[in-house]
Amino acid sequence: MKINEAMIRLKENKMAAVGGIIVLCLFVAAIFAPLLAPYDPEAINRHSVLAAPCRAHLLGTDDLGRDVLSRMLYGAGISLSVGFVSVGIATLVGIAVGAMAGYYGKAVDTAIMRFVDIMLSIPTFFLILAVIAFLDSSIWNIMAVIGLTSWMGVSRFVRAEFLSLKTREYVLAARASGASDIRIIISHMLPNSLAPVIISAVLGIASAVLVESALSFLGIGVQPPTPSWGNILSSGKDNLEIAWWLSVFPGLAILVTVMGYNLLGEGLRDIFDPRLWDDRS
């Protein structure tokens, strides 16, 4: 697909544009958090415990007097880092597994896909909980566990694309010219199968942000005093009747983030799928 054609499709998809703007704003907040945050996110102020939103603290303070706005800005970086790194791990594993299954087929395909089916039959969130229970609750362990338990969807997409591509003329010509399997997979087949992978990765970031927030809310994710939207929510549940802002604002941040990535992912699906575009023409 030509770039100008993709841009035309993106402009006509208003929801995708809204999702892109939301994602861009999140990036700005995460990158420039040290400049945008009015206070140190870990600074304790015993004179401003559970202060309601006001001019000094726009989103209020928590039970230790820490500024909620500052903690949410720094928490955006934590949540997005977990999302991108874990999805990156899942994408790499999924591409490798799906490429082998789709390219070699037969017994290799059967064995790999049965393993994928077994992984899909296990509830992912409970699997993550079980693994995290035996590991240190560091951010790197969380990234690795989420990534290594979320690659199955990507592998199925890549396998389907490879099954279709391996009978194309340019792949047969490359094989006839003596190109190695690795060269055919990396140079000829993989670049033509990335569209569904990109869409899956964008949608996967939203899921990873949700999982990280849930783990932090349960107390087995990112540990205080490191700010995370999930552990801000966790402190809010203990003071829900007197400090509503501790639940409302991080909850809205998670909602808007997930919505933004889902809108962007759906928009990219419309751009990369010519069948959907032809139906609307």
Confidence of residue 113 (pLDDT cuts 50, 70, 90): very high
Three-state DSSP class for 67? strand
CA 191 to chain centre: 22
Distances from the Cα of 145 to the Cαs of 53, 90, 240, in angstroms?
36, 10, 31
| 73-82, 120-129, 202-211: range with lowest mean pLDDT | 120-129
Query: In angstroms, rounded to a whole number, what is the distance separating the alpha carbons of residues 162 and 159?
Result: 5
What is the pLDDT at residue 222? Answer: 82
Closest listed residue to residue 124, CA positions, set 143, 148, 95: 148
Confidence of residue 281 (pLDDT cuts 50, 70, 90): very low
What is the pLDDT at residue 6? Answer: 59
Question: Which residue bears the tokens 């966790």?
Answer: 234
- Would you say the C-alpha torsion 168, 172, 177, 181 has a positive or negative sign? positive
What is the pLDDT at residue 68? Answer: 92
Question: Which residue bears the tokens 């206070």?
Answer: 39
Closest listed residue to residue 166, CA positions, set 89, 109, 93: 109
Beta bridge partners of 67: 61
Distances from the Cα of 67 to the Cαs of 48, 56, 166, in angstroms?
9, 9, 56
The phi and psi torsions of 61 (rounded to 5 degrees) equal -130, 165
Query: In angstroms, rounded to a whole number, what is the distance separating the alpha carbons of residues 109 and 155?
Result: 11
Query: In angstroms, rounded to a whole number, what is the distance separating the alpha carbons of residues 102 and 114?
Result: 13
- Is the pLDDT at 210 greater than 50? The verdict is yes
What is the pLDDT at residue 73? Answer: 93
Residues 118-128 have pLDDT tens digits of 988 888 888 88
Question: What average pLDDT does the segment 147-158 reach?
Answer: 91
> Degrees (nearest 5) of the Cα angle 154, 191, 263?
50
Mean pLDDT (the chain) is 85
Are 146 and 212 spatial neighbours (Cβ–Cβ below 8 Å)? yes
Q: Does domain 14-42+57-280 have CATH number 1.10.3720.10?
A: yes
Q: Could you tell me which residues come within 8 angstroms of residue 250 by beta carbon, excluding any fewer than 6 positions away?
A: 68, 72, 75, 229, 230, 232, 233, 236
Domain boundaries, the chain: 14-42+57-280
Question: What average pLDDT does the segment 186-203 reach?
Answer: 87
Tokens representing 103 are: 């390219």
Confidence of residue 274 (pLDDT cuts 50, 70, 90): low
- Is the pLDDT at 71 greater than 70? The verdict is yes
The phi and psi torsions of 218 (rounded to 5 degrees) equal -80, -5
What is the pLDDT at residue 7? Answer: 62
Query: In angstroms, rounded to a whole number, what is the distance separating the alpha carbons of residues 77 and 97?
Result: 30
Confidence of residue 260 (pLDDT cuts 50, 70, 90): very high
For residue 42, the tally of other CB atoms under 10 A from its CB is 14
What is the pLDDT at residue 25? Answer: 92
